[in-house]
Amino acid sequence: MHRTIKVAAGVNALLALFTITACGSDSGGAGAKADAKQTLTVWAMGTEGQKLADVAKAYEKQHPNITIKVTPIGWDTVHQKLVAAAAAGTLPDMAQMGSTFMGEFAGMGVLEPVDETSFSKDDFFPAAWNGNVVDGKTYGVPWYVDTRVLYYRTDLAQQAGVTEAPSTWSDLQSLASGYRRTAKTKWGISLQPSGLDTWQNWLPFLYSAGGDLVKNGKPTLDTPESVRSLTEYRTYFDKGLAKKSVAPGYDVVKDFGNGSVPMFFSGPWQITNINTQFPALKGKWKAVAVPGDKTSASFAGGSSLVTFNKSPHKAAATEFQKYLTSARQQADWFTRTSDLPANKAAWQQAPLVSDAGLKVFGNQMATAKAVPPLAKWAEFGAQLDSAIESVTQGKASPAEAAKKMQSATEGLVG
């Protein structure tokens, strides 16, 4: 199951070498009708790629004229394969598309706009839908979502004299300090100090402060909200509440389980990880909403379903996407993969409606904000990571880092 998208740097320069003539599984023709006998080719990644074939078989039984060929691809290679397929004209009919890929591939001109008479954006979480909108056109249908919330050890919090979940920045910092001072934990919280995708830990701070990454087609990073969020983020490192250095591949769940790191921000997949690795912790931890400043806001991740614009099977792709994103099928998909539904109505169906532990993610998604679908997201994210690192390592003030973010990203938007 995909959780962090890694995009190869410099891909835009590479794409300039290619003439893109994308195509589907067949060539030529105006396109087959949805119920015509045909084969639909689909690329999907990670666990989703492995599980989707079973769902496709069930769909084929209901639609005997449709054969669905699912190709599983690893998240570590999919970006390269998509770029190469676009250049060679060998793209499938449809594919799973990670949230930070959307702007890039829409900008390449290989995606078919969504038929909004077949899908209603009101059926989906706003942040999930908006992450697929590029220059006023929607290019993907939300398939599953994730968002970041706060995991914390309630048993150690009680040792620190805290019985309520932290709901504000002040509460969060107070609890982190209390863990170390009274519960004698090694650290107060895990926050990523540097490296790839550091922005994922910082973005809930920015969004909760009322800030944005991009607004009206321009970066909005040199703002009071950015400075305030960077200042708050830095405080945990200045006070020794969070590690200033974390090894690549660091598994926070291990330290959460042994009590040395009693808090961290992450997504819904960690519920299974904690329960599996540390069953004795049952009843001793919780996942709660992101502590807020002006508001409690996180960001929306996950994947959407896209159709490539040279596919001769667009109608069949649309019907399969309608099936996969229906409330009933989204609830079924959750039981297969633990992927959280993008369709809001699925949260009112079993088993999600009765799972109190998952409600925090649904509630957080209701206030989550989209990651802007930028064609040059890889470079944009790298500039964020660099500026955040300069703050956590004491090499720049929050104000200096905010200015650096702004100047470094101005040529990467639009």
How many domains does one find in the chain? Answer: 2
Please list the pLDDT of the chain residue by residue as tens digits (414 residues). 444 443 333 344 334 333 333 333 333 345 899 999 999 999 999 999 999 999 999 999 999 999 999 999 999 999 999 999 999 999 999 999 999 999 999 999 999 999 999 999 999 999 999 999 999 999 999 999 999 999 999 999 999 999 999 999 999 999 999 999 999 999 999 999 999 999 999 999 999 999 999 999 999 999 999 999 999 999 999 999 999 999 988 999 999 999 999 999 999 999 999 999 999 999 999 999 999 999 999 999 999 999 999 999 999 999 999 999 999 999 999 999 999 999 999 999 999 999 988 999 999 999 999 999 999 999 999 999 999 999 999 999 999 999 999 999 999 997
The pLDDT, as a whole number, for residue 253 is 98
State pLDDT tens for residues 60-119. 999 999 999 999 999 999 999 999 999 999 999 999 999 999 999 999 999 999 999 999
Closest CA to 152 of 308, 285, 298, 31: 285
Residues 91 and 161 in one domain: no
Domain residue limits at 122: 11-146+300-370
In a domain, 6, yes or no: no
In a domain, 156, yes or no: yes
Residues 264 and 319 in one domain: no
- How many distinct helices (H) and strands (E) make up the chain? 16, 14
Residue with tokens 């994922």: 200
State pLDDT tens for residues 163-221. 999 999 999 999 999 999 999 999 999 999 999 999 999 999 999 999 999 999 999 99
Residues 262 and 378 in one domain: yes
In a domain, 257, yes or no: yes
> What is the DSSP code (8-state) at residue 23?
-
Residues 275 and 304 in one domain: no
pTM above 0.85, yes or no: yes
H or E element that contains 300? strand 299-307
155: left (phi over 0), alpha (psi -120 to 50) or beta: alpha
The pLDDT, as a whole number, for residue 414 is 78
The pLDDT, as a whole number, for residue 356 is 87
In a domain, 210, yes or no: yes
Residues 294 and 311 in one domain: no
Residues 260 and 359 in one domain: no
- Going by their DSSP bridges, the two strands 218-219 and 133-134 should be labelled as unpaired
In a domain, 255, yes or no: yes
Residues 52 and 89 in one domain: yes
The pLDDT, as a whole number, for residue 107 is 96
Q: What is the DSSP string of 359-390?
A: HHHHHHHHH-EEPP--TTHHHHHHHHHHHHHH
The pLDDT, as a whole number, for residue 23 is 39
Residues 245 and 349 in one domain: no
In a domain, 3, yes or no: no
Query: Over pLDDT 90: what percentage of the chain?
Result: 91
Residues 360 and 256 in one domain: no
Residues 361 and 387 in one domain: no
Residues 260 and 405 in one domain: yes
The pLDDT, as a whole number, for residue 17 is 37
Residues 361 and 223 in one domain: no
CA atoms of 223 and 398, how far apart (whole Å): 11
In a domain, 5, yes or no: no
In a domain, 1, yes or no: no
CATH of residue 273? 3.40.190.10
Q: Report the Cα 116 to chain-centroid distance in Å.
A: 23
